[in-house]
Amino acid sequence: MIFCVISAASAQLSNTKWKGFIINNGQVPAVWIFKKTTVDVLSLPDSSVLESMTYKTASGFLFITKVSGTTSCDNSTIGKYSYKIKKDSLYLKSVDDACTERADAVPETPYVKVKK
């Protein structure tokens, strides 16, 4: 039963794209590209990869861990974020992230789903 709940939660984000911005010396337009177990955050309009991370979801929480990127976060610090999808909007909020550079970069304003 628990596996089904986790799988269903991950399925909400898997293979989706969300456009909005991150905070990095001001607002930077960005897109989050969720694959099956990884997420890339790209800067727009040049599509340069700002951060590549692995992710898991459980009970309305998103757990992310850096693989590579521009933040000074190490590759073992797990960030915990609450997430909610409402219609075509993704809301993220830092709950527990020792990497303050990453936590400060994620605004609470919604990301809009990029339709295929």
Q: How many domains does the chain have?
A: 1
pLDDT reported for residue 5: 37
Q: Containing domain of residue 79, as a range?
A: 2-113
Closest CA to 35 of 13, 5, 4: 13
Express each pLDDT in 78-92 by its tens digit: 999 999 999 999 999
pLDDT reported for residue 55: 96
Instruction: Give me the CATH number covering residue 69.
Output: 2.40.128
Residue bearing tokens 């609470």: 108
pTM: 0.88
pLDDT reported for residue 84: 95
Instruction: Average the pLDDT over 84-103 and give the result.
Output: 95
Closest CA to 83 of 9, 6, 19, 14: 9
Express each pLDDT in 8-19 by its tens digit: 445 689 999 999
